[in-house]
Amino acid sequence: MQRKLPFLLFAAMLGLAACNEGSDLERAILGAAIGCAAGEILSDGKCIAGAGVGAAAGALADDV
């Protein structure tokens, strides 16, 4: 897990950098992917819950 974390954080950073341009669907998909990775790492295998939260956050990111 310690070896995966820097790579996942880097991938999340690159994905979030692209969030300014794109549709709500694209941001939701990216948020779901990042949320799934965070759920797997931080909550011991709760990818689905993390993906749901990440997708909602991604879809609403430009509305805030």
Structure tokens at 42: 């931080």
Residues written for the chain = 64
Local structure of residue 61 (DSSP, 8 states): G
Whether the pLDDT of residue 64 is over 60: the answer is no
* Per-residue pLDDT, 29: 84
pTM comes to 0.65
pLDDT tens column, 7-62: 766 776 666 666 566 788 888 888 888 888 888 887 777 888 888 888 888 888 77
* Domain locations along the chain: 24-64
* Per-residue pLDDT, 3: 62
* Per-residue pLDDT, 63: 59
Asked if 63 and 33 count as a contact pair (C-beta separation under 8 A), the reply is: no
